[in-house]
């Protein structure tokens, strides 16, 4: 069973009792079609919105659970514009344009359900007036725009090998004076190198890495079996190939996993960590993997790197060697439209590669010419 989905379902079940009854009704309606992880995000968005309504005096409720449907019906467009402004300017929420769009889309889904689908005992819509139907939500994730944002922030060609070499050897030199960091590095270097190598040679998502069990890896066939995002069937895992370059790192980690992390027999997780105060290893968390990648990236001189950008780095490199449909399948994208960002990224990457080849060719030609000239001059004298 997908570990993250189980945790998100548990968190969803904990949160729902504190939400208004109509939100719980909406979640139950959507549960067969959406994953618990997606619905948990919806509920968090609704919680934020309703707390804002209370703080602004747009609801007389004392707590979120008490926000009434009639108060949603009476909202003006100005109120929604003010909420959008709140999201964009409030320092504690760190909302990007994409996040703001997602939060507004969450609200629109709820309001649409209440006004168009859910009915009361008299067969009338639960929500008589839907202010969110008037809200224009601009999509911000066009492939070309996403590619432009990623430009210059990915590992390209030889940088992939350089980053892995840095984690394997040169990072130790940079932290030599920090005993605590050095101890942690020597304890976890083999595991860390394996995780980053697997991402850079397969394009796995961080959620897929977290969910990997030791039985999900077939080193001989260069396959790992993962629960793919967007698929609600937890009885079926998708095979994902990884490159030959990842096998040495995987074998090295597998050889020391049990002894280094004191793995109990009941622990099936592939990647382990020993938490403070614990004696046995347990499944690494999503946050731990994200922070680990950032730690190495900063020292490497690329502080903007993240797990997702490592996935993008693999995808760009993979797309250069394959086509859009093979890349789509490898990454687990639902639509080739999502994969199109790599077409835009590789246009520039390919152009830069051609320029490098041309410069190297010219340099070689100049060097050969100079060598020939020198040889002729020497012979003449």
Residues belonging to the active site: 205, 229, 308, 311, 333, 342
**What backbone torsions phi and psi does residue 225 show, to the nearest 5 degrees?**
-110, 120
Which among 81, 76, 78 is positioned nearest to 130, based on CA atoms? 76
Listing DSSP states for 179-245 in one string gives: HHHHHHHHHHHHHHHHHHHHHHTT---HHHHHH-BGGGEETTTTEEEEPPTT---TT--EEEE--GG
Q: How many Cβ atoms sit within 10 Å of the Cβ of residue 131?
A: 20
Evaluate whether 137 touches 108 at the Cβ level (below 8 Å).
yes
Listing DSSP states for 12-46 in one string gives: HHHHGGGS-HHHHHHHHHHTTTS-HHHHHHHHHHH
C-alpha dihedral (247, 322, 304, 145), degrees to nearest 10: -160
Tokens of 25: 């009704």
Which among 198, 149, 144 is positioned nearest to 339, based on CA atoms? 144
**What backbone torsions phi and psi does residue 269 show, to the nearest 5 degrees?**
-60, 140
- Contacts of residue 234, defined as CB under 8 A and 6 or more positions apart, other chains included, come to 1, 2, 5, 227
Tokens of 318: 């993979």
Question: Using CA atoms, how far apart are residues 67 and 77, in angstroms rounded to an integer?
Answer: 18
Q: Reduce the DSSP state of residue 307 to 3 states and report it.
A: helix
Strands (E), the chain: 217-218, 223-226, 238-241, 272-273, 282-283
**Partner residues linked to 223 by β-bridges:** 218, 241
**What backbone torsions phi and psi does residue 176 show, to the nearest 5 degrees?**
-55, -30
Q: Would you put residue 332 in left (φ > 0), alpha (ψ -120 to 50) or beta?
A: left
């Amino acid at each position: 069973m997908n570990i993250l989905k189980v945790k998100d379902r548990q968190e969803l079940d904990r949160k729902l009792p504190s939400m208004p009854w109509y939100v719980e009704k909406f979640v139950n309606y959507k549960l067969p079609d959406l994953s618990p992880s997606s619905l948990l995000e919806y509920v968090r968005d609704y919680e934020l919105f309703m707390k804002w309504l209370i703080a602004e005096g747009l609801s007389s409720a004392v707590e979120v659970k008490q926000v009434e449907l009639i108060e949603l019906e009476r909202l003006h467009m100005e109120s929604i514009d003010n909420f959008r402004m709140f999201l964009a300017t409030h320092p504690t929420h760190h909302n990007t344009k994409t996040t703001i769009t997602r939060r507004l889309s969450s609200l629109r889904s709820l309001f649409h359900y209440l006004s168009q689908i859910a009915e009361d005992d008299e067969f009338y819509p639960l929500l008589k007036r839907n202010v969110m139907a008037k809200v224009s939500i601009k999509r911000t994730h066009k492939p070309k725009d996403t590619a432009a944002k990623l430009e210059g922030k990915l590992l390209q060609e030889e940088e992939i090998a350089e980053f892995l070499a840095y984690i394997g050897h040169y990072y130790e030199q940079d932290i030599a004076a920090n005993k605590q960091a050095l101890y942690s590095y020597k304890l976890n270097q083999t595991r860390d190198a394996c995780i980053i190598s697997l991402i850079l040679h397969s394009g796995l998502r961080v959620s897929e890495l977290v969910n990997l069990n030791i039985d999900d890896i077939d080193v001989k066939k260069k396959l790992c079996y993962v629960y793919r995002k967007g698929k609600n069937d937890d009885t079926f895992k998708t095979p994902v190939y990884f490159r030959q370059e990842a096998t040495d790192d995987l074998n090295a980690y597998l050889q020391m996993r049990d002894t280094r992390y004191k793995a109990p027999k009941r622990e099936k997780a592939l990647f382990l960590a020993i938490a403070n105060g614990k004696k046995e290893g347990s499944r690494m968390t999503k946050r731990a993997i994200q922070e680990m990648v950032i730690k190495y990236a900063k020292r490497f001189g690329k502080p903007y790197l993240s797990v997702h950008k490592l996935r993008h780095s693999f995808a760009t490199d993979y797309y250069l060697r394959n086509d859009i449909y093979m890349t789509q399948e490898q990454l687990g994208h639902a639509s080739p439209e999502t994969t199109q960002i790599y077409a835009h990224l590789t246009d520039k990457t390919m152009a830069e590669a051609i320029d490098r080849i041309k410069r190297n060719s010219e340099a070689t030609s100049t060097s050969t010419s100079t060598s020939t000239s020198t040889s002729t001059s020497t012979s003449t004298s």
